[in-house]
Amino acid sequence: MPDIDISLPMTATGKRFTADDYVEVTVHFKCNLKCVHCMIEGTMDWLRPESNDQLARILAQNARERRWKGLTLTGSEVTLRHDLPDLARAARSHGFEHVRIQTHGTRLADQEYCHELVDAGIDEYFVSVTAADAATHDAITGVRGSFDKTVRGLENLDALECVVTLTNTVITERSYRQLPLVVERLGHLRRLAQMEFWTYWPMRETDDKDLIASHLEVLPYLREAIAAAKGCGRSVEVKNFPECLLGDDRDALDNDQPKLVIDPEFWPEFMRNGFHQCVHRSYCASRRCLGLNTAYVNKYGWHADVLVPLATER
């Protein structure tokens, strides 16, 4: 196990970051990978990124009100924006204590670029790692060599002071068996503070790409990954997985999201997922579970044979 160098304290429930502290702004809708599980794949060409004026308004608001501690620049692949360092500098000058980017991380393989971003004030990097090995990752991203670059990027960041990294691994039929291996593969990173595992949602009512994995099949791999990541001293967040099924790992479920500033046309697409469906929905005591979604139910049914409603909220 590495000597973890993460100064951020964890709460009693194992959290390092609070969604309410952050605002996410979608500033770019272009990407140079072709991840099969991309949730905005079909919308990237028509969703409109927030304008510089809109971003300026958010920065001004934060300068006045100190509403958020952190700004997350997101969309598709924000490192494709040439003015990314400028955006970060502007955010810092408007009172944001942290600037985070959501990225697939391939450009971070360039050490100089990492320095440029860090110098501009980007101190948190939320990096997508889709699998544990190059063959699987590259097959998912559709770009050969992307895994090596992403890992190199994380390693580059690991060498820099005042940097915190987070990873996200989307749970799909093509990745779930590798979840514990992802934790193992990234085990050497000292600045990796949090690992997130997001269960795939297809943004429609059917799983046209056959990517949704059965929760029951995913469960042992996911729990092993959670345990391994916690064992490395990292905090863990699981998204969109039934709370009841997580058993003793229920605390890892965190479906909270920062305020997301995005083209409103995104939301009708998002709502097609149809979350919060469950046979026990009306009497289960869980308040943070997203239940099942339409495509999941259409593919695997209601799982009434195993889901047990929570009688009391923890």
Partner 1 sequence: MEPIKTRAANAFKMSLEAGELVIEFGNVVGPGQTPGPAAVAVTDRVILPLDTGRRLAYSLEDCLKPHAAALRAEEAKALPPSEAAVAARSGQAPVRPSPEAAGERAAELLRMVGDLGIPYQYERSFRICRQALLANRFLLTVDAGNIPGNPGERTLEICDRLHMPGAAREAAAANFAMAKCVHFGFEADDDSIICKLYLERAVPGEEAQRARARGEPVLLHLAFKWDLVKDAAVTTRYLWRPGLSAAEIEARLAYVYRDGARASCVLALAALDLTRGRAAAEQLQYLEVEEAENGRRSFDLNLYDAKLQVKDMQRLLHRMREHFGVRPGQMQALYDQIKTKALGHLAGGVHRNGEDFFNVYYGVLGLHRRQ
- Residues 40 and 47: beta-carbon distance below 8 Å: yes
The DSSP letter of residue 312 is S
Kindly tell me the sign of the dihedral angle through the C-alpha atoms of 273, 128, 148, 71: positive
Q: What is the footprint of partner 1 within residues 142-161 (CB under 8 A)?
A: none
The least distance separating partner 1 from the CB of residue 247, rounded to whole angstroms, comes to: 3
Provide the 8-state DSSP code for 297: H
Question: Under the criterion CB under 8 A, does residue 307 sit at the interface with partner 1?
Answer: yes
DSSP letters of 212-274? PPPHHHHHHHHHHHHHHHHHTT-EEEEESS-TGGGGGGGGGB-----EEE--TTHHHHHHTT-
Q: How far apart are CA 116 and CA 79, in angstroms?
A: 12
Give the neighbor-by-neighbor strand order of the sheet with 70-75.
235-239, 192-199, 164-171, 122-128, 98-103, 70-75, 22-28, 259-261
Rule CB under 8 A: say whether 263 interacts with partner 1: yes
Convert residues 49-78 into a mask of x (bound to partner 1 by CB under 8 A) and - (unbound). --------x---------------------
Residue with tokens 């905090």: 235
Whose Cβ is closer to partner 1: residue 140's or residue 226's? 226
Stretch that binds partner 1, among 15-23, 30-38, 102-110, 278-286 (CB under 8 A): 278-286
- Residues numbered 216-245 forming contacts with partner 1, rule: CB under 8 A: 216-217, 219-220, 223, 244-245
In angstroms, give the least distance from the CB of 286 to partner 1: 12
Residue 268 as a binder of partner 1 (CB under 8 A): the answer is: yes
- Interface region with partner 1, contact rule CB under 8 A, candidates 102-110, 162-170, 185-193, 301-309: 301-309
Residues that bind partner 1 (rule: CB under 8 A) add up to a total of 42
Determine the 3-state secondary structure of 298 from DSSP. Answer: helix
Q: How far is the CB of 267 from partner 1 (least distance, A)?
A: 4
Nearer to partner 1 among residue 105 and residue 242 (C-beta): 242
